[in-house]
A and B are shown apart, each in its own frame.
Chain A
Amino acid sequence: MYLNLRDRPSKSAAGAAPTGKQRVARTVLLLGAVSLLTDVSSESVNAILPIYLTTVLGLSTFAYGLIDGIYQGVSALIRLLGGWIADRTDRPKLVATFGYGISAISRVALIPMHSFAAITSVITLDRLGKGVRTAPRDALIASSSAPESLGRAFGVHRSLDTVGAMIGPLLAFWILIAAPTGFRTVFIASFAFAIIGFAVLVLFVPNLRPQRTSKPAEDASRPAAPKPSLRLLLRPGMIRLCCGAALLGVLTIGDGFLYLELTERDSLATKYFPLLYVGSNIAYLAFAIPLGRLADRIGRTKVFVGGHLALLAAYIFAGSVFSGAAATVGCLVMLGSYYAATDGVLAAIAGQLVPPAIRTSGIATAQTVLAMARFVASLGFGLLWTTMGRVPALHLMIWLLIAAIPIAAFMLRGLDRSEELSTA
């Protein structure tokens, strides 16, 4: 679940500071910089944690296995809560600042740390912070972008974020090459990047108030913006979106399963197993902006559903006639494209389906539904994998996905059009 560990975007806010079609808003670039720096911070630590725990703390990898962090359910709850508070107070920046702040502080605690329990709590705290900040941050991105270029805005943000995730491990290993015992230096560097990212957020990201800006005087002809209420989430469009996303989500098996399958087809995939996620990250980086723009142009639901064709191709590369490097490269490219076509795009759709007053909650809900569906998929596929065997299980998923894609396309039809109407 490499890619999925990071927060996936979402978006919101129709009625805020559209910046025209020329460029991506400065706020989006600033938030991208915040995410880049924060990802350098967290991924530099994640990259060395197994080695640190086993060779410095003298813990066996069994103890490492106990670092579960928080459970999926708690994380989902935190995310929804973060979204709801941001809507309720109309202060997404404040809530995001709180989330980034928690993560930065958790890095300080890592520096003097020598016990296993302490490291577990640091990691848990970091993930809590991540859960809190994701939806409000995405709401800020949406609030500062023109509705017609939201896909591109999220693409730009996710690209910057992924760049940070790739720099982090490089930084960590560069430090360890310069000073082989310098694990603590890595933690200090991680804290340094977290603080710089936090400073960019606090000092430069504007304190947008999406609901306030969405009801200017000249908009008096429109009805008054509704008060934040979760009942607003129960709109037909939103329900259709969640059902469609859930249907596709339960057929999305974990990246880890695909990677393990690749090791059966390509001996190099075994040797370079830990590099596989870098491959799909590169593909994600390459396609996030182009697919975001495509979504703006031809319709977001088309790109969202179409992304699952890339997922289907990834399954076929991993589980079918291909072998050797062709299977590995093909699978990773398709997997990266799938994430690029779905992550920001889902949020962009969700944000347009609910009123600005609960935009953050709307985004958080769609993301959580997808995350929970993928969680179910992973458990379900694990069961199939052990009862049917690897290849038949994957073949079954291929056929189910082929059947599900048209159904999902039908369920999601027209959701773009209603968006165009509402923002016209």
Chain B
Amino acid sequence: MSTKAKLTIFVVICLLAIGGTVAALVKTRSDDDAARRNTPAAATTTYAKLASAPRIVFRSTVRNTDYGSVAAVAMSDPTGPRAFFGNQCDRVYATAQRMLCLASDRGLVTTYTAKVFNVTTGAKITELPLVGVPSRARLSRDGTLAATTSFVQGDSYAATSFSTRTVISKIGGASFGSLEDFRLVHQGKTIQPVDRNYWGVTFAADDNTFYATAEWGQHTWLVEGQLSTRTVHTLTEDAECPSLSPDGAHIVYKQRGDRPKGQWRLVDYTVASGAINQLSETHSVDDQVEWLDNSHVIYGLPRSGTEAAVSDVWSVPIDGSGIPKVLIPQAWSPAVIP
């Protein structure tokens, strides 16, 4: 082939490749504009009007300009008017006083933040360190303790995967540091597996006891920990992202069971007896559930296909009965403020 022919082919390829990219970019922009125009703005209200009754704080996933913003609805009217807080979070949790918001600041290189706000005034109280992609956020009932889980790349040559970093902090006080530095007790012995990872913390009412996931050697465990002694010990195998009920009697977590990699079912663990029962949800749930009351949990499920960026918050009883149903459409990362 002559040099001229090669150059011609090359120029054609470049034009097609760059032209195609530009065309795709233009089309995406016009589609976005059309979608925004066609999505009616949801009815809104103010947080002050919702604050006198039980409410749910969540991340709104309506595909409009408020996508990713934190909002609240009345628990008695979960599909009703939303109060927007004006901040964007990937993961959010809230109590009556405080809101913990994990966010990514997109830029040339994305950075990540964990900020604590006053729920009523919206004022920033403090900022906690966050090194990687936001994953899980929890506050203790009275809002004094915060737990964040993020994913860090590059801990090891061994895996191209992420490893997790879970940090518990006292708001306005010192950090308890990464859970990896806590003593890990397994079957009566202190162990130090190199590949241990922790994620998904849930706090008990005493502001000392907590539960979380520990993983090493490809196995996950439900662990119970004490902040006072900086110790965690394993309770039961195959458990991730536990969530403790308000009365402290049950823990609902996601479990692999016989499902393929990347899929989980929800099970209920009775704290007193250690009994485990499966919930009636058949979808794969990849979330840390929240408690609606002492007998129902709520969690996010993404929609399928091109709607996958939109998720809904579903609710299901914990006793294995009932049919899961959508509680808040177009929402993610719910936190119940009773």
Q: A residues bordering B, Cβ < 8 Å? A: 1-2, 4-5, 47, 50-51, 54-69, 72, 114, 116-117, 169-170, 173, 175-176, 178-182, 184-185, 188-189, 191-193, 195-196, 199-200, 203-204, 254-257, 259-260, 263, 267, 270-275, 277-278, 374-375, 377-379, 382-383, 385-387
Q: Within the assembled complex, what's the spacing in Å between the Cα atoms of A56 and B307?
A: 8
Q: Within the assembled complex, what's the spacing in Å between the Cα atoms of A375 and B159?
A: 9
Tell me the smallest distance from the CB of A332 to a CB of chain B, in Å: 13
Judge if B273 is at the interface, Cβ distance under 8 Å. Answer: no
Q: Within the assembled complex, what's the spacing in Å between the Cα atoms of A383 and B216?
A: 13
B residues 216-245 in Cβ contact with A at 8 Å: 240
Tell me the smallest distance from the CB of A97 to a CB of chain B, in Å: 15
Q: Within the assembled complex, what's the spacing in Å between the Cα atoms of A59 and B135?
A: 10
Q: Within the assembled complex, what's the spacing in Å between the Cα atoms of A221 and B108?
A: 58
Q: Smallest CB-CB separation from A390: which chain B residue?
A: B181
Q: Does B108 contact A59, Cβ atoms closer than 8 Å?
A: no
Ordered by A's residue number, 24 sampled pairs between the chains whose C-beta atoms are within 8 Å are: A1-B154, A4-B157, A57-B309, A60-B286, A61-B162, A62-B199, A64-B133, A116-B262, A173-B106, A178-B29, A179-B32, A181-B28, A182-B29, A188-B24, A189-B24, A192-B17, A193-B17, A256-B156, A263-B131, A274-B111, A274-B132, A375-B158, A377-B157, A385-B194
Q: Does A63 contact B159, Cβ atoms closer than 8 Å?
A: no
Judge if B268 is at the interface, Cβ distance under 8 Å. Answer: no
Tell me the smallest distance from the CB of B25 to a CB of chain A, in Å: 5
Q: Within the assembled complex, what's the spacing in Å between the Cα atoms of A114 and B18?
A: 24
Q: B residues bordering A, Cβ < 8 Å? A: 6, 9-10, 13-14, 17-18, 20-21, 24-25, 28-29, 31-32, 68, 90, 104, 106-112, 129, 131-135, 150-164, 180, 192-196, 199, 240, 261-262, 286-287, 300, 302-303, 305-306, 308-309, 311
Q: Does A378 contact B158, Cβ atoms closer than 8 Å?
A: yes
Q: Using Cβ atoms and an 8 Å threshold, which residues of chain A touch B306? A: 114
Q: Within the assembled complex, what's the spacing in Å between the Cα atoms of A55 and B21?
A: 22
Q: Does A170 contact B135, Cβ atoms closer than 8 Å?
A: no
Q: Does A260 contact B21, Cβ atoms closer than 8 Å?
A: no
Q: Using Cβ atoms and an 8 Å threshold, which residues of chain B touch A2? A: 153-154
Tell me the smallest distance from the CB of B331 to a CB of chain A, in Å: 12
Tell me the smallest distance from the CB of A75 to a CB of chain B, in Å: 9
Q: Using Cβ atoms and an 8 Å threshold, which residues of chain A touch B154? A: 1-2, 254-256, 259, 277
Partner of B9, one of A64, A169, A199, A259: A199
Q: Does B156 contact A378, Cβ atoms closer than 8 Å?
A: yes
Q: Does A54 contact B133, Cβ atoms closer than 8 Å?
A: yes
Q: Does A275 contact B90, Cβ atoms closer than 8 Å?
A: no
Q: Using Cβ atoms and an 8 Å threshold, which residues of chain A touch B109? A: 47, 169, 272, 274-275, 278
Q: Does B28 contact A185, Cβ atoms closer than 8 Å?
A: yes
Tell me the smallest distance from the CB of A77 to a CB of chain B, in Å: 16
Q: Using Cβ atoms and an 8 Å threshold, which residues of chain B touch A60? A: 135, 286-287
Q: Within the assembled complex, what's the spacing in Å between the Cα atoms of A170 and B108?
A: 6
Q: Using Cβ atoms and an 8 Å threshold, which residues of chain B touch A387? A: 192
Q: Does B32 contact A72, Cβ atoms closer than 8 Å?
A: no
Q: Within the assembled complex, what's the spacing in Å between the Cα atoms of A189 and B18?
A: 8
Q: Using Cβ atoms and an 8 Å threshold, which residues of chain B touch A169? A: 108-109
Q: Does B286 contact A254, Cβ atoms closer than 8 Å?
A: no
Q: Does B111 contact A271, Cβ atoms closer than 8 Å?
A: yes
Q: Does B108 contact A56, Cβ atoms closer than 8 Å?
A: no
Partner of A61, one of B13, B129, B151: B151
Q: Does A72 contact B6, Cβ atoms closer than 8 Å?
A: no
Q: Within the assembled complex, what's the spacing in Å between the Cα atoms of A201 and B156?
A: 33
Known: A56-B308, A270-B129. 19 other contacts (CB 8 A): A1-B156, A50-B110, A56-B309, A58-B300, A59-B286, A72-B157, A181-B309, A182-B28, A185-B21, A188-B24, A256-B155, A259-B154, A270-B131, A271-B111, A271-B129, A273-B112, A278-B109, A382-B156, A386-B192
Q: Using Cβ atoms and an 8 Å threshold, which residues of chain B touch A55? A: 68, 90, 309
Tell me the smallest distance from the CB of B174 to a CB of chain A, in Å: 15
Q: Knowing A55-B68, A114-B306 touch, does A65 contact B151 (C-beta < 8 A)?
A: yes
Q: Within the assembled complex, what's the spacing in Å between the Cα atoms of A54 and B240?
A: 18
Q: Within the assembled complex, what's the spacing in Å between the Cα atoms of A271 and B180?
A: 20
Tell me the smallest distance from the CB of A378 to a CB of chain B, in Å: 4
Q: Within the assembled complex, what's the spacing in Å between the Cα atoms of A116 and B286?
A: 13
Q: Does B21 contact A192, Cβ atoms closer than 8 Å?
A: yes
Q: Smallest CB-CB separation from A58: which chain B residue?
A: B302
Q: Knowing A51-B110, A59-B286, A374-B157 touch, does A273 contact B162 (C-beta < 8 A)?
A: no
Tell me the smallest distance from the CB of A250 to a CB of chain B, in Å: 11
Tell me the smallest distance from the CB of B131 to a CB of chain A, in Å: 5
Q: Smallest CB-CB separation from A53: which chain B residue?
A: B133
Q: Using Cβ atoms and an 8 Å threshold, which residues of chain B touch A178? A: 25, 29
Q: Within the assembled complex, what's the spacing in Å between the Cα atoms of A189 and B287?
A: 32
Q: Smallest CB-CB separation from A188: which chain B residue?
A: B24
Q: Does A68 contact B6, Cβ atoms closer than 8 Å?
A: no
Tell me the smallest distance from the CB of A261 to a CB of chain B, in Å: 11
Q: Knowing A55-B309, A116-B262, A173-B107 touch, does A66 contact B156 (C-beta < 8 A)?
A: no
Q: Smallest CB-CB separation from A379: which chain B residue?
A: B158
Q: Within the assembled complex, what's the spacing in Å between the Cα atoms of A191 and B18?
A: 10
Q: Does B108 contact A50, Cβ atoms closer than 8 Å?
A: no
Q: Knowing A50-B151, A185-B28, A203-B6 touch, does A272 contact B111 (C-beta < 8 A)?
A: yes
Question: Which has the most chain B C-beta neighbours within 10 Å: A56, A60, A195?
Answer: A60
Question: Across chains A and B, which 4 residue pairs bring their CB atoms closest together, nearest first?
Answer: A58-B302, A256-B154, A378-B157, A192-B17
Q: Does A58 contact B309, Cβ atoms closer than 8 Å?
A: yes
Q: Knowing A60-B286, A62-B240 touch, does A203 contact B9 (C-beta < 8 A)?
A: yes
Q: Does B17 contact A196, Cβ atoms closer than 8 Å?
A: yes
Q: Using Cβ atoms and an 8 Å threshold, which residues of chain A touch B150? A: 61
Q: Knowing A60-B135, A61-B162 touch, does A254 contact B156 (C-beta < 8 A)?
A: yes
Question: Which has the most chain A C-beta neighbours within 10 Å: B18, B155, B311?
Answer: B155
Q: Using Cβ atoms and an 8 Å threshold, which residues of chain A touch B21? A: 185, 188-189, 192
Tell me the smallest distance from the CB of B137 to a CB of chain A, in Å: 12
Tell me the smallest distance from the CB of A58 to a CB of chain B, in Å: 3
Q: Does A63 contact B262, Cβ atoms closer than 8 Å?
A: yes
Q: Smallest CB-CB separation from B104: which chain A residue?
A: A51
Tell me the smallest distance from the CB of B333 to a CB of chain A, in Å: 10
Q: Within the assembled complex, what's the spacing in Å between the Cα atoms of A263 and B150?
A: 15
Q: Does B160 contact A5, Cβ atoms closer than 8 Å?
A: yes
Q: Using Cβ atoms and an 8 Å threshold, which residues of chain A touch B196? A: 386
Q: Does B309 contact A179, Cβ atoms closer than 8 Å?
A: no
Q: Smallest CB-CB separation from A203: which chain B residue?
A: B6
Q: Within the assembled complex, what's the spacing in Å between the Cα atoms of A270 and B10?
A: 45
Q: Within the assembled complex, what's the spacing in Å between the Cα atoms of A62 and B135?
A: 8
Q: Knowing A254-B156, A256-B156 touch, does A58 contact B311 (C-beta < 8 A)?
A: yes
